[in-house]
Structure 1
Amino acid sequence: MSKLYRGATLILIVLLAGVMQVNATHIRAGEIIVERISTQSLQFRITIIGYTDTGSTVEFGGGRLEFGDGTAIDIDTDKDFSLKDDLGDEIALNVFVISHTYQAPGNYTLRFQEFNRNGGILNMANSVETPFYVETNITIDPFLGLNNSPQLLIPPIDRAATGATFFHNPGAFDPDGDSLSYKIVNPKQDIDLEVIDYTFPNHERHYVGFDYQTSNEAQNGPPTYTLNEINGDMIWDAPGLAGEYNVAFIVEEWRKVGGEWIRLGYVTRDMQIIVEETDNERPDLLIPNDTCVVAGSLLEATIIGEDPDGHNLTIESFGGVYDLISSPATYSPNPPTEQTSPGQLNFNWQTNCNHVRERPYEIQFKVKDSPPALERPALAKFETWNVTVIGPAPEGLTATVRPGREIQLNWDSYFCGNAVEMQIYRRVDSFQYVPEHCETGIPENGGYELIGSVDIGNRSFLDDNNGEGLNPGANYCYRLVAVFPLPGGGESIVSEEICAMLDADAPVITNVSIENTGTDDGEVLVRWTPPFDVDPVQFPPPYRYEIARAQGFDGNAGLQVLGSTTDTTFIDTGINTRDQVFNYRIYLYDGGNTFVDSSAIASTVRLDLQSFLGGVELNWQADVPWSNNIQDFPYHYIYRDQVVNGSPQQLVLIDSVNVNERGFTYLDDGSFNNTPLSDQIEYCYFITTSGGYGNDVIPEPLINKSQIVCAQPNDTIPPCTPVNITLRDCSDFLRNRPCTDDNYENVVSWQPDGDDACQLDVRSYNIYYSPAIDGNFVLIGNVTDTVFIHDSNNEVAGLDGLGGCYQITSVDRSGNESDFSDPICVTNFDSCAYYELPNVFTPNGDGKNDTFEAFKGIPERCPRFVEKVVFTVYNRLGKKLFEYESGGENDIFINWNGNSDSGQQLSSGIYYYEADVTFDILDTDFATRKLKGWIHLVR
């Protein structure tokens, strides 16, 4: 096999279609590979690989390659070849290598077309006069990183036997570590033009003289032709008529960017399968199970090949692991040699940190027998071994409590210096966990929260809870995960856990439980422990507590003190627990009425329902300082009505959820009592959570109830449309903001429909935005409140001004969405566009007021939303003296030095100006305004 198929220098190639004169019959198979040559320019090496029929007198070459950027070349047979290799059996390998530089980033499809295919291909019409065409697609995007095309290491010519399953794998790997997928396509003769009368090789017309319904190898079904989209295994079970067949497929490359998979390109392989009659039986391969290995470990394996006929055989291997720059894998014997059956191949790979990546390495093994001439053709079998290299666990993690309710974390230098960052995870209460084999990252549903990350060279992190201080009385537990660079990505095994306990030197809130659900008679039980670690000398008892409440899961919206008590229990009454989420905190005063400290903030439990056909899904959440998934009490309990005969309104316990395994979700489909849910009945639920601080002094579990909420299965009725949409006046936002501040935000508010039933049905609101009055609206957010802040940091459509229009919809608990509200636009934005010029300046070189420029230091006189300025100065007779236009190096502030266009210094006096100012506003009819005024130039 040519080293070209195994070298790391194989290149991403894209083939472009061309039109040429028909002159021969010779091309069997081919593809294009593309490789980025330089990181400083957009220069690529393009390799065209073609397999030809040496029974033809026509040389490969003379085809046309289009680069996808409007340029093309004709292949010069004499000059452009880099390799010609006669492989025997009337097959030759031909390789062209060409360099090309693109002028700009973009998505390019390279196309190659040459006349003609070899004659006699059975599954297309008149192949001898059919052009050969392949294409490759590549994305050049500096934001996505360097990109090379996938490389296909196993040749696209293979042999098969009638009645015996045929196997092929292209041996694809991506030098950038991108993920690959595979898809069958039809062979083409030109751009978007398939070959004539093409059929898949398992089509019935290729089984004349066979019983088609029993033509697979086992003779118990029709033949099949498949391509595994994940590992690229092509299986034709089994060939019928002897002859030559062509098939095609694409190998797509994908890169994960920002949590989303982006297709970067593809390579098309057009390959030929030569089927012959034989009684030879296919050899077999025995390979290890898929595995993973920690970077730095030695991986060894023995692959066994066996031939049922006892023929000699050859075992070889392909894959990107053999072309790695650092510590590539090896196998022996290499080069592959013929062995007696059973034969073996010895695999050896000393892994290192540079090999870590998210997806496994695909290592292909091929065994091929060597029958006597009368029993040929030789048959082959492929197997793929998936090996994932993972990062070792970080070590040496310690946690030390510091004053100010902070915890200092330190750890050892990480073993793999090529990792990019160390992620720090935290939870309350210890979570005993041992990663399973090959398991990386933080455990799902383990209750850990990512609280920060540092460069991999750092070995410490201060947890001060974003400057707010950690919560008293809590046992905080930490783990580390190392993350490796894209595009390969990958992460380490999670570190061992380390914990540190904070003193309970303030009240420790333990319960925020909804005891009654209602709109005006709701009740919440709030409970806390005394500050048992407070200094009684500095803060002498007896202690008094104030209970404060705010709206939402956290924050201070509507914060108010509800009352004072010396007890450690409080009942908050007369509130809307049906529709609102509340959070509570406790203020501590000592015996001298001195404020000591406050507890952490804890919210009520919010239960949301979503209806499905025959079921209701429950999801719940709470923002609390304790952990609601602890290992000693992992179960949360589900209560529902419509269970007790004769008392359908009674809510009773129906089931429980181990949240450490399943998270905070539950699907009620009636399985608990084998009674399916009816779509004619509304079902009501509440749940109880179980939690703890991991502190032996604070009893566990901490039980808290959610509100009662109801839903009907298979609900298809949309909720009511929001009303009274309003936008904050732009002048309120701009007031007192610096001229250079480009962080914009619009505040949109609305009201639910006044109907009580509609309000009860609404779970959340969708906010849609368009930057233009007549533009397309896109979804930019979903909230449970009736206020939304749209700012510059919005992930979907960040604001770069204040202009835009909004529409709001309601979403009910079944996922139904209401009609759109009427659009509302920032019309008053036009009145906030502003530009002002002064009347006097003194270009005398004293460093003060030496240039004429727009106001820019006073917030109420800042230029706002100015796109362009054309400024002209005249004398008293109307003669033009100076003209200025912003753009390029010229900004909108003008900065005129008092000289004319010819460079002459103008004398002191009165001059006149006109300024055409173009604003970036919604109403383009009024975007340009003409300003006129006078200038007193004083020298």
Structure 2
Amino acid sequence: MVHSLRIKCLLLLTFLLFLADRSFATHIRAGEIIAERISSTTLTYRFSVIGYTDTGSSVIFGGGEIEFGDGVRGNLAEISESNLTIQLEDEVAYNVFTVIHTFQGPGRYVVRYQESNRNAGVVNMSNSVDTPFYIETALLIDPIFGINNTPVFLIPPVDKGAEGATFLHNPGAYDPDGDSLSYHITIPKQRFDREVNDYKDPNDPTFYTNYLEGNQERDGPPTFKIDSITGTLEWDAPGLMGEYNVAFVVKEWRQLEGEWFELGSVVRDMQIIIEETDNNPPQIIQPMEICVEAGGTISEIIVATDPDGHPVTLEAFGGPLEFLVSPASFSPDPPTVQPVPAEIEFEWQTDCAHVRERPYEIQIKARDEPPIGARLVDFKTWLIRVVAPAPTGLTATKLSQRRIQLDWDGYSCGNADKIQIWRRVDSYDFLPEDCVVGMPANAGYELIDVVNNNSLAGDKITSYIDGDDGMGLAPGANYCYRIVATFPKPGGGESYASTEACAQIGVEAPVILNVDVTNTSETNGEIYVRWEEPFDLDPVLFPGPYTYDVVRFQGLSGMEDGDTIATNIAATEFTDTGLNTTAFPYHYLIYVYENNGTYIDSSFPASSPWLDATSDVEKITLRWNAEVPWSNVLDDQPYHRIWRDNVDDFFPDDLYLIDSTHVGQQGFVYVDNGSFNGVPLSDELVYRYYIETKGSYGNPDLATYDPLLNKSQILGAQPNDTIPPCTPVDFSFDDSFDCQSFLAMQECEFNDFSNHLFWNQDGASSCDNDISSYNIYYADEDTDEELPFLVNVEGTDFVHDEMPSSGGFANPLPLTSFKGCYQIAAVDRSGNISARSEKICRDNCPSIKMPNTFTPNGDGINDVFTPFYSRTGNVNGEGEVPKIETFISGFDYADCPRFVEEVIFNVFDRTGGLLYSYNSTEESSSEENQEILINWDGTTDSGRELESGVYYYSLEVTFNVLRPEDQNKKYKGWINIVR
């Protein structure tokens, strides 16, 4: 390598300083802190404080201070349980001190270790010999996430590289819990929240004679980065020999209810030693990713070569090699120097304990062994995924009352915790393989339930009865099932899907065949409904001819507010007219009656297809859905058809069949970008569409009707739509609701709060109202600040009765009062949002009422002075602690304390002398509401029992209301003690 005289002089000076300092310099090159939870009942951890030291120093590692983030700290060497030192190569020693520590409660803790000092001569910071060494590890202890351990690093953090050649390093991190890891560059520190002095990235221009040609290929500047997924650190390429210290943080993530949470992190401070050499690094031949079913054996030969022909040491690191049960192995082990091509043989007999959602990462490291000069390395990450076998023996048997019983073999993997039950109408053939576990997204199966794999007694659960939650399954449908085993978090994982098992429900009720939109209009829409008679009914028990009622409901589903639109008809078809098919889908039920008018049964509900669209630049994405008892994903006829206008220049208003889409592969989605005829969509045109679905019950007795063809409404959409819809109008609360009247009918412990909101779409002709949903905004106080987003909803009303938790609406929290302010905005199909409505607010109706007399005589009735309050349930049952609230015959719930947050209560004698004081903010109790109920027993602050007589009190109350000026109220009154 060629360098300027200035760089050479700098190198010589650095090297001489390094030699001069070694006689008295301190010692730390690299390190990290690892945490392991060692108790399932207490919050006890084993911390391993690891330091890599310079063996040329006489200073012993371990004399620094460790802090646990909970106020506890101490000298590492003095409080450690054990320590170990191992001599490695290249003047590096591995030192580890273990410390046991128990935290007193959940929380986020940062464990820190600081020791003086780093080894001398580090070139990318100033005066490293006098710079303390600092590392930290963060832990989240939260029962929601269960037991957690930090990642473990298997590859030492001291490595060598060469000037001008790309440097690679991988820490070989794995998480014992199977959590996901991410890697991020940070800056080395000398103490908490303080970086080392004058830190420079290794690719800083001061380390290069020609920075713009600093990479290995000499065609660009150098780079220094870490792969956030694999953790491979890459420096392309070092420019000046010497010792560099860098740091990175490894964060661990766990998924809960679909959201990722950061559980903790480990900071690794590492050292890179760059030497001048003409050597070239070895090269590992990248192994292909492997998928294996648990129980299978992996046997793989991994090969490395070297461009200079130097011998190579080849080895593997990773979690599977650390397992206690059926670990992986490689040979030769320990690694040996081999002539090229060097080989190691990797072996792993997998089992069910190894199943997890994420692939395992095996880090392959090759290091060459030149006769002189620096030894260089290459890293490759090899992914191995272990998946679970499919459950076996699934059968389906028809039962009475439109039910089906499933039975299967006891699942072979005992560590699986759940069995998913998947169902669809009509058979669908697919062969699970190639690591495609679980249920394919567009196969038409619906997850109907999840059951435990094992009972509380430890027995395998191997059966399930499907009755559609007591509603009964759809008449005429051929129901097909598959089951999937799942594994507990944090590792997670799913099995392959089982083979399919089917059973058919008899046609003992009407079977709807069509809910077909035949005219799209805001006022004159039409839907054609057709059904098959219940031909499997016993004609002796249920004599015909049959008659039918047709009941219509607005929306895709739901059984409220139905309209009977036809009664006592003999036909098996009906055209429903006068509908707004532009704005709404509709669904239908058919009721069947004997020839004497006796009711027999009803069909399963079925809806019309509903089409929606999203606009983008020069394209429109169509999506559709229908809630029907048949399957719209057919194995033999999987294509749904698409119609559109603006196809024929002479008849632009006519709709033509333009394309079809394979819903088993793409789902109910189609993207129109004009490619079907090579004509791009125009931003100036509104395009109209409808789709036609194909369905089947999978029943041979109904096969004559297959496929069941049903059309959606006609929908208009414009590419690159940027025009927002109009703001909704008539935004209001339920007008019939009165807070005080409502609560006068509720028990004192009532906490089922909700606000019912209503609105309408602005029907003005000037509005671009291709509305798909509405945004609701909410705050629990009346503020001038913009209200934050609450939820996106469809329809024109919303019941607000819960708030999202930290995990979103997957784990909602109940609404705690009525108070709050709301706004609403409309959202169109292109994601444009209207202006917000005016703010509307609702307040609580607070109250508190005090009695004038109480009898503290120990009889368990009226023994304490408290606001009027009544609890339901046993008051003074055997073995129970007597209740302390006032009980009044015929209690009036209007007297309950409502929306009281704090009370300050004082009792005085006739002269104004203070006898007793109580402040609810200074008290705590596990009893709900007890902190504001006072419960004074008639004694003074010193415990003296007051005599019968009249006393006076003052009461300061803080209420939970919208406006701050209404929160605080003061009351005065008298109390008669009767003993």
With normalisation by structure 2, the TM-score equals 0.86
Q: Which residue of 1 aligns with 2:721?
A: 715
Pair 730,692 (structure 1): closer, same or farther in 2 beyond 3 Å? farther
* Counterpart Cα distance in 2 of 1:846 and 1:162: 90
Given the alignment of the two structures, is residue 865 of structure 1 paired with residue 899 of structure 2, yes or no?
yes
Contact 1:753 1:759 in 2 (8 A): no
Match of 1:426 among 423, 426, 431: 423
Given the alignment of the two structures, is residue 788 of structure 1 paired with residue 798 of structure 2, yes or no?
yes
Q: Which residue of 2 aligns with 1:359?
A: 358
Q: Which residue of 1 aligns with 2:19?
A: none
* Counterpart Cα distance in 2 of 1:594 and 1:466: 26
Q: Which residue of 2 aligns with 1:529?
A: 532
Pair 214,29 (structure 1): closer, same or farther in 2 beyond 3 Å? closer
The 5 A counterparts of 1:58-137 are 58-69=59-70, 72-76=73-77, 82-137=83-138
Q: 1:788 is aligned with what amino acid?
A: F
Given the alignment of the two structures, is residue 450 of structure 1 paired with residue 447 of structure 2, yes or no?
yes
TM superposition shift of 1:585 = 0.9
Q: Which of 270-279 and 654-663 deviates more?
A: 270-279
Q: Which residue of 2 aligns with 1:855?
A: 870
Given the alignment of the two structures, is residue 888 of structure 1 paired with residue 924 of structure 2, yes or no?
yes
TM superposition shift of 1:340 = 4.2
Q: Percent identity?
A: 50
Q: Which of 653-662 and 71-80 deviates more?
A: 71-80
* Counterpart Cα distance in 1 of 2:254 and 2:666: 29
Q: Which residue of 1 aligns with 2:413?
A: 416
2:965 aligned counterpart, secondary structure = helix
TM superposition shift of 1:498 = 1.0
Given the alignment of the two structures, is residue 234 of structure 1 paired with residue 233 of structure 2, yes or no?
yes
Pair 633,330 (structure 1): closer, same or farther in 2 beyond 3 Å? same
Q: Which of 261-270 and 300-309 deviates more?
A: 300-309
TM superposition shift of 1:117 = 3.5
The 5 A counterparts of 1:359-398 are 359-372=358-371, 375-398=372-395
TM superposition shift of 1:359 = 0.7
Contact 2:65 2:115 in 1 (8 A): yes
Which string of whole-angstrom CA distances, capped at 9 and with x for unpartnered residues, describes residues 834-882 of structure 1?
A: 4456678888888877877623456844544344556678899999988
Match of 1:580 among 576, 581, 584: 584
Pair 192,640 (structure 1): closer, same or farther in 2 beyond 3 Å? farther
TM superposition shift of 1:412 = 2.0
Given the alignment of the two structures, is residue 28 of structure 1 paired with residue 29 of structure 2, yes or no?
yes
2:769 aligned counterpart, secondary structure = helix
TM superposition shift of 1:811 = 0.6
Q: Which residue of 1 aligns with 2:830?
A: 814
The 5 A counterparts of 1:545-584 are 545-564=548-567, 565-584=569-588
2:700 aligned counterpart, secondary structure = coil
Contact 1:684 1:709 in 2 (8 A): yes
* Counterpart Cα distance in 2 of 1:353 and 1:596: 51
Given the alignment of the two structures, is residue 467 of structure 1 paired with residue 500 of structure 2, yes or no?
no
Q: 2:820 is aligned with what amino acid?
A: G
Q: Which residue of 2 aligns with 1:325?
A: 324
TM superposition shift of 1:888 = 2.9
* Counterpart Cα distance in 2 of 1:882 and 1:319: 67
Q: 2:174 is aligned with what amino acid?
A: F
Q: Which residue of 2 aligns with 1:181?
A: 182
Q: Which residue of 2 aligns with 1:688?
A: 692
TM superposition shift of 1:180 = 0.9
TM superposition shift of 1:242 = 3.5
TM superposition shift of 1:215 = 5.1
* Counterpart Cα distance in 2 of 1:28 and 1:793: 50
Q: Which residue of 1 aligns with 2:682?
A: 678
1:496 aligned counterpart, secondary structure = coil
Q: Which of 127-136 and 573-582 deviates more?
A: 127-136
Match of 1:403 among 400, 403, 406: 400
* Counterpart Cα distance in 2 of 1:304 and 1:812: 57
Which string of whole-angstrom CA distances, capped at 9 and with x for unpartnered residues, describes residues 165-211 of structure 1?
A: 43321100111211112223343445455445544444555453x89
TM superposition shift of 1:410 = 2.2
Contact 1:737 1:859 in 2 (8 A): no
* Counterpart Cα distance in 1 of 2:632 and 2:422: 16
* Counterpart Cα distance in 1 of 2:193 and 2:954: 57
Q: Which residue of 2 aligns with 1:168?
A: 169
Pair 677,54 (structure 1): closer, same or farther in 2 beyond 3 Å? same
Contact 1:898 1:906 in 2 (8 A): no
Q: Which residue of 1 aligns with 2:541?
A: 538
Q: 2:924 is aligned with what amino acid?
A: G
2:213 aligned counterpart, secondary structure = helix
* Counterpart Cα distance in 2 of 1:133 and 1:845: 63
Q: Which residue of 2 aligns with 1:802?
A: 818
Q: Which of 605-614 and 56-65 deviates more?
A: 56-65
* Counterpart Cα distance in 1 of 2:232 and 2:869: 68
Contact 2:723 2:768 in 1 (8 A): no
Q: Which residue of 1 aligns with 2:523?
A: 520
* Counterpart Cα distance in 2 of 1:639 and 1:248: 59
The 5 A counterparts of 1:182-197 are 182-195=183-196
* Counterpart Cα distance in 2 of 1:897 and 1:32: 53
2:701 aligned counterpart, secondary structure = coil
TM superposition shift of 1:790 = 1.0
* Counterpart Cα distance in 1 of 2:204 and 2:632: 59
Q: Which of 272-281 and 621-630 deviates more?
A: 272-281
* Counterpart Cα distance in 2 of 1:78 and 1:756: 78
Q: Which residue of 2 aligns with 1:920?
A: 960
* Counterpart Cα distance in 2 of 1:536 and 1:903: 87
The 5 A counterparts of 1:899-938 are 918-928=958-968
Contact 2:166 2:215 in 1 (8 A): no
TM superposition shift of 1:740 = 3.8
Pair 311,213 (structure 1): closer, same or farther in 2 beyond 3 Å? closer
Q: Which residue of 2 aligns with 1:700?
A: 706
Q: Which residue of 1 aligns with 2:756?
A: 747
TM superposition shift of 1:282 = 3.4
Q: Which of 274-283 and 251-260 deviates more?
A: 274-283
Q: 1:29 is aligned with what amino acid?
A: A
Q: Which of 154-163 and 705-714 deviates more?
A: 154-163
Which string of whole-angstrom CA distances, capped at 9 and with x for unpartnered residues, describes residues 790-822 of structure 1?
A: 113762664122222211111112101111112
Q: 2:313 is aligned with what amino acid?
A: T
Contact 2:205 2:211 in 1 (8 A): no
The 5 A counterparts of 1:642-681 are 642-681=646-685
Contact 1:287 1:302 in 2 (8 A): no
Q: Which residue of 1 aligns with 2:213?
A: 213
Pair 654,846 (structure 1): closer, same or farther in 2 beyond 3 Å? same
Q: Which residue of 2 aligns with 1:495?
A: 498
Contact 1:738 1:859 in 2 (8 A): no
TM superposition shift of 1:357 = 1.2
Q: 1:440 is aligned with what amino acid?
A: V
Which string of whole-angstrom CA distances, capped at 9 and with x for unpartnered residues, describes residues 638-672 of structure 1?
A: 11111111221111111211111111112212111
Q: Which residue of 1 aligns with 2:888?
A: none
With normalisation by structure 1, the TM-score equals 0.89
Q: Which of 113-122 and 580-589 deviates more?
A: 113-122
